Amino acid sequence: MIALIQRVSEASVTVDGQVTGAIGKGLLVLLGVEKGDDEAKAKRLRDKVLGYRVFEDDNGKMNLNVQQAGGSVLVVSQFTLAADTKSGMRPSFSTGATRQMPSACTSILWRVVKTTASKRKPVFLPQT
């Protein structure tokens, strides 16, 4: 499981001209699910995302996590993060969750969202 985390003042996802997910201040998480990912990895990722102190406190120091800063989290599935680019000029996606595994990929993504939401934190997953 690979995540690219970006601190944002606002973020949204638009599909076919319609906004499917949006947040104000918070974290945009691009999530790449790989073969073999499980609930334990999803929980570790959740804890890391919620724990990173990337927001400024009253003294201007990056001391606050997204929860303490009152921010939200927008999780977006991004299979290209699992690309293997070690050889050649064409990336391989063999380590990523495949189309034959859609329920596993969706399940892991939702576990991250569900377990985070159960901690009463605002988390959004764009509707597809």
Is 76 a residue whose pLDDT tops 80? yes
Q: What is the mean pLDDT of the chain?
A: 79
Label the pairing between strands 72-77 and 123-124. parallel
**Active-site residue 18, yes or no?**
no
Give residue 102's pLDDT band: very low, low, confident or very high (50, 70, 90). very low
pTM listed for this prediction:
0.77
**Active-site residue 78, yes or no?**
yes
Taking residues 104-120, what's their average pLDDT?
Answer: 61
Q: What is the pLDDT of residues 42-60, one digit of tens each?
A: 888 888 988 999 999 999 9
Percent over 90 (pLDDT), the chain = 27
Catalytic residue (one of 78, 95, 106, 115): 78
- The verdict on domain 2-124 having CATH code 3.30.1330.90 is no
Is 38 a residue whose pLDDT tops 70? yes
Report residue 8 as tokens. 């944002």
Catalytic residue (one of 6, 14, 68, 80): 80
**Active-site residue 6, yes or no?**
no
CA angle (1, 49, 106) in 5-degree steps: 45
> Sign of torsion, CA 70 107 52 119?
positive
